[in-house]
């Protein structure tokens, strides 16, 4: 954890799963736009690496499947005397397990449920009263194109992401009277460590990407920055009249 300096910034964002992929790219863009950034994730070294070029930030190791860790991290953020108020919460952390339906054990289903759905619920539940009190808050849930339309061998993951879309609508309805917005981003196929192909040697990876590219209407696999820009777009104040939106950021794959 990096010690908190007296901040000159006026607003903060919390990003879960900020050590890699979409979360790290989102941390970078919010930092560039003048936010103090809280980077949460499970692995300290990944968080440090993502924070390397940010101006004002704090990293926090927090496993979202552990209620005590979630409570403790949220308390530390809310009670931090020198940090600017949190205005945006990005529920980005998630895991993906591929399996045929009949091989999906309870463990496979529940691991993804606790990480992808209950983790976001827990941290949001901590911050909802805080946002209510401030009469200002913006929640961005990172779902998936699979949450709108499942694919083969993704039943448990797709179900968690579909739940997240529906939950975003509940949050938007309940939050509106307190000026709390909730929106959902549904990424398509993005080149991040969540996919095994991300780690292949360059030549092999290129072959896989070539095949994947051919399935994408816009002709390429997404990069983390493609998603981060949309998370910023709906999360920040420029979208102050947008709530309950479900934005596909997927190169058009949802239409095929």
Query: Would you name the residues annotated as active-site residues?
Result: 157
Stretch that binds ligand NAP, among 1-9, 35-43, 52-60, 101-109 (CB under 6 A): 35-43
Size of the site for ligand NAP (CB under 6 A): 29
- Per residue, what are the HEC states of 161-228? HHHHHHHHHHHHHHHHHHCEEEEEEEECCECCCCCHHHHCCHHHHHHHHHHHHHCCCCCCCECHHHHH
Distance CA 75, CA 42 (A): 18
In the set 12, 15, 27, 46, which binds ligand NAP (CB under 6 A)?
A: 46
187 binds ligand NAP (CB under 6 A): yes
In the set 8, 43, 75, 170, which binds ligand NAP (CB under 6 A)?
A: 43
Q: What is the CA radius of gyration of the chain?
A: 18
Subset of 92-131 contacting ligand NAP (CB under 6 A)? 92-96, 115, 119
Are the CB atoms for 69 and 41 separated by under 8 Å? no
Distance CA 190, CA 72 (A): 32
Stretch that binds ligand NAP, among 174-182, 188-196, 199-207, 229-237 (CB under 6 A): 188-196
Q: How many CB atoms lie within 10 A of CB 82?
A: 9
Q: How far is the CB of 240 from ligand NAP (least distance, A)?
A: 24
Beta carbon nearer to ligand NAP, 82 or 211: 211
Q: Which of 67, 94, 92, 77 is nearest to 1 (CA)?
A: 77
Beta carbon nearer to ligand NAP, 98 or 132: 98
User: Which residues of the shown chain bind ligand NAP in the complex (CB under 6 A)?
Assistant: 16-17, 19-23, 41-43, 46, 63-65, 92-96, 115, 119, 142, 144, 187, 189-190, 192-194
């Amino acid at each position: 954890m990096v010690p908190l300096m007296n901040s000159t910034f006026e607003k903060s964002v919390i990003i879960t799963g900020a050590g890699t992929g979409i979360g790290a790219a989102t941390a970078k863009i919010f930092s560039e736009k003048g936010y103090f950034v809280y980077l949460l994730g499970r692995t300290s070294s990944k968080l440090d690496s993502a924070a390397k070029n940010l101006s004002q930030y704090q990293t926090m190791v927090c496993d979202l499947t552990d209620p005590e860790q979630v409570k403790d991290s949220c308390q530390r953020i809310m009670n931090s005397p020198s940090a600017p108020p949190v205005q945006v919460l990005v529920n980005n952390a998630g895991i993906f397990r591929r399996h045929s339906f009949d091989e999906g054990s309870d463990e496979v289903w529940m691991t993804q449920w606790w990480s992808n759905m209950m983790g976001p619920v827990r941290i949001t539940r901590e911050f909802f009263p805080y946002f209510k009190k401030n009469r200002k808050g913006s929640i961005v849930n990172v779902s998936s194109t699979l949450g709108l339309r499942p694919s083969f061998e993704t039943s448990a993951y797709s179900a968690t992401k579909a739940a997240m879309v529906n939950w975003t609508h509940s949050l938007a309805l309940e939050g509106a009277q307190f000026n709390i917005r909730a929106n959902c981003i549904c990424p398509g196929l993005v080149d991040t460590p969540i996919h095994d192909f991300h780690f292949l040697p360059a030549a092999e990876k290129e072959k896989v990407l070539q095949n994947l590219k051919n399935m994408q209407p816009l002709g390429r696999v997404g990069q983390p920055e493609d998603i981060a820009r949309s998370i910023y777009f709906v999360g920040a104040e420029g979208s102050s009249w947008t709530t309950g939106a479900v934005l596909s950021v997927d190169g058009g794959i949802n239409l095929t």
